[in-house]
A and B are shown apart, each in its own frame.
Chain A
Amino acid sequence: MKRILIIEDESALQKTLGEILTQEGYETISALDGGSGLDLAKAKSPDLILLDLILPKMNGFDVLTNLKKDNTTKGIPVIVLTNLEGVAEIDRVISLGATAYLVKAQYSLEELVARVKQVLDSPM
């Protein structure tokens, strides 16, 4: 079973994402802030990370930078899931090595699940 780490400070959103991804047959683990998300990524080696950008303790940009610096986590695909939609943020996140950038307001849950499947099914 593939494991997905959700780093999201909105607990309601975390619950909804966890529910639908579990129903789709994935194991989900979650963190409510950037620091514990990074620790969890290192400890549990997930197959995919869903990462919010505005997070307490450590923001999503720093989490991504640290993930890509560490040999144990740098190969994990990261989908950034945020409500920020500035060109500067998108460019920064992609240059830091994120696999995809999704604006929450523009995606339905089903579209998000489809994107998750696509990333997990694509060869590394």
Chain B
Amino acid sequence: MGTSIGTFLIGNRYVDDPIMVVFIVLLSAAILFIMAFFITNGFEKLAEANRMKTEFVGIVSHQLRAPLSNLKWSIELLMSGRLGKIEEKQKEYFQILEENSSRMHELISDLLVVSRMETTGFFSHKASFSLIKLVKETIKEFDIFTKSSNIKIDFDYPSKKIDTLADSPHIKLVVENLIDNAIRYAKKGGNIQIKAQARKDKIYLEIKDDGVGIPKNDQRYIFQKFFRAQNALKHQTQGSGLGLYIAKTMIEKSNGKIGFNSKENEGSTFWFTLPLAHKS
């Protein structure tokens, strides 16, 4: 509209014939209309292609789970010794198979979560639950890994009961991802300090490690899909680069905030906030 008026005013000033002015205005409006149509259409096609790509990733990931379940359970059966004694040398290679099938499972699970987040807008069932209890349970699940790497986890939390309002399986995935990263990138014999606090109408949780840290140049990309920092790639070849993207999306969908402070070679502190179930 503005452009048409502008064209009319300019045309009126420099062209004497009013019919010609009207013609120029109509022509410029038609050109703009056609351009707008192609741009909108282009965006719609782009959005559709993106949706199809995400759906495709979801279907492929799901289909991959069936052969992987076969692989996982067959290896487990072989390693259990139920089908006959396994020699030490064979055991080593079965362990390699087992570890790699677990890695594929993790990657596929992450891809499925991302695909679900992007196609269905992510179904969330919010209810009141204890984040402290959830963190304690998660720390326990990582026991075997912390012991084998000689990593110590301290958890400091208030004695007063503080519940949060969110989707607990989603938040569990976030806590698992953050603790998993802290362990993966920790130095042997390192420390991980976890702290929970009630802050006004929010619960605050931070996970601090003294590991490899994130290089300054990589920090702005850290929550992006598939991004892995340069030193992380050197330190740990595993990892999908989806964990922090999933964490950010889930915390923000739960009306919380997530962030971090990090210094290369000194460690990282990841934190998030979530709404309290009952304001204190």
Interface of A toward B, CB cutoff 8 Å = 10, 12-13, 16-17, 19-20, 23, 83-84, 87, 104-105, 108-110
- Residues in B with CB closer than 8 Å to A105 are 65, 68-69, 72, 105, 108-109
Pairwise interchain contact A87-B123, C-beta atoms closer than 8 A: yes
A105–B102 alpha-carbon span in the complex (Å): 9
A122–B82 alpha-carbon span in the complex (Å): 26
Given contacts A10-B70, A13-B73, A110-B76, contact A83 B65 (CB under 8 A): yes
A56–B280 alpha-carbon span in the complex (Å): 55
Pairwise interchain contact B82-A20, C-beta atoms closer than 8 A: yes
A33–B62 alpha-carbon span in the complex (Å): 19
Chain B's nearest CB lies how many Å from the CB of A21?
A: 11
- Residues in B with CB closer than 8 Å to A20 are 77, 82
Interface of B toward A, CB cutoff 8 Å = 62, 65-66, 68-70, 72-74, 76-77, 80, 82-83, 105, 108-109, 123, 125
Pairwise interchain contact A83-B73, C-beta atoms closer than 8 A: no
A39–B109 alpha-carbon span in the complex (Å): 35
18 extra interchain contacts, Cβ-Cβ under 8 A, other than A23-B82, A110-B80?
A10-B66, A10-B69, A13-B70, A13-B73, A16-B73, A19-B83, A83-B62, A83-B66, A84-B62, A87-B125, A104-B65, A105-B68, A105-B69, A105-B105, A105-B108, A108-B72, A108-B76, A109-B76
User: Can you name 20 A-B pairs with beta carbons within 8 Å?
Assistant: A13-B66, A13-B69, A13-B73, A16-B73, A16-B77, A19-B82, A19-B83, A23-B82, A83-B62, A83-B66, A87-B123, A87-B125, A104-B69, A104-B73, A105-B68, A105-B72, A105-B108, A108-B72, A109-B73, A109-B80
A8–B32 alpha-carbon span in the complex (Å): 59
Pairwise interchain contact B62-A12, C-beta atoms closer than 8 A: no
A6–B72 alpha-carbon span in the complex (Å): 18
Chain A's nearest CB lies how many Å from the CB of B138?
A: 15
- Residues in B with CB closer than 8 Å to A108 are 72-73, 76
Pairwise interchain contact A83-B69, C-beta atoms closer than 8 A: yes
- Residues in A with CB closer than 8 Å to B105 are 105
Give which listed residue, B65, B70, B80, B123, contacts A12 with CB less than 8 A. Answer: B70
Give which listed residue, A16, A19, A23, contacts B70 with CB less than 8 A. Answer: A16
Chain A's nearest CB lies how many Å from the CB of B118?
A: 15
A10–B105 alpha-carbon span in the complex (Å): 18
Scoring A16, A17, A87, A108 by chain B CB atoms within 10 A of each residue's CB, the highest score goes to: A16
Return the chain B residue nearest A14 by Cβ.
Answer: B70
Chain A's nearest CB lies how many Å from the CB of B57?
A: 16
A23–B74 alpha-carbon span in the complex (Å): 15
Pairwise interchain contact A16-B68, C-beta atoms closer than 8 A: no
- Residues in B with CB closer than 8 Å to A83 are 62, 65-66, 69
- Residues in A with CB closer than 8 Å to B70 are 10, 12-13, 16
